[in-house]
Amino acid sequence: MDFTTLKDELVNIADDTSITSSNQERWINRAYREIQSRADWWWMLKATTDSTVASQQAYDLPTDYRKMFEIRVDDVSFAFLDHERRNDRGTNGWTRRYSIFDQQYYLYPTPTASGSSDVDILYYKKPTDLSSGTDEPDFEDQFHEILLYLALVYYAEKERDLGDAQYFRNQAENMITQMKEFYQKQSGQEWLRFRDIREGFKTDQTESNLSTP
């Protein structure tokens, strides 16, 4: 369902044409943000590339970054390292490491040569809102009804109908459980597909542009 259809369905199910357009949009987007924040969904993963610069250790994270999944340089996967331990020489056998601090990621060891789109970043993006009438949620159509149930929770709470609010909350939670089970089964297959389509993904295993730790 697109944004327009979701708003229409909200009014129809609530059987209340007095719900303002602003409340329709606010409740549906509140529901959408809640769903996006409930788990590390694979459909919230986003890929981008960056380029190493000689003698530069820190690089800006994407503006919509929420949580890191993986960093690879020249197709070599880097292990996450707490920023406070950034000077450790290897962690559990990993010599290629990264840390995150103040909206930047840091590469260890520091690159010794500049590259071109040699950094692949896979991360969970921040929750977004639906805006245009044709916008659709990023997850499967069969679960779009969750947004309606949650929006109806907010509507019922506004109307002080706690019984309806609890009913719609239960319906939403049941569907969220189903959606988690669905994506747990799909996650391995989708992750493989996602890796295949990443721009600039390398097959060369060289580490020549990184200094020795």
Q: How confident is the model at residue 203 (pLDDT cuts 50, 70, 90)?
A: very low
Same domain, 68 and 120: yes
SS3 assignment for 102-141: CCEEEEECCECCCCCCCEEEEEEECCCCCCCCCCCCCCCH
Same domain, 67 and 85: yes
The structural domain count of the chain equals: 2
- The count of other CB atoms within 10 Å of the CB of residue 61 is 18
Q: According to the model, what pLDDT value does residue 95 have?
A: 78
Give the end of a domain, one of 125, 150, 176: 125
Q: What percent of the chain has pLDDT over 90?
A: 69
Give the end of a domain, one of 125, 154, 182: 125
Instruction: Give the angle 196-201-203 at the CA atoms, nearest 5°.
Output: 100
Please check whether residue 178 lies inside any domain of the structure. yes
Q: According to the model, what pLDDT value does residue 207 have?
A: 40
Residue 59 is part of which domain span? 44-125
pLDDT digits 0-9 by tens, 116-169:
999 999 999 999 999 999 999 999 999 999 999 999 999 999 999 999 999 999
pLDDT digits 0-9 by tens, 29-68:
999 999 999 888 888 999 999 999 999 999 999 999 999 9
Question: How confident is the model over 7-15, as a mean pLDDT?
Answer: 96
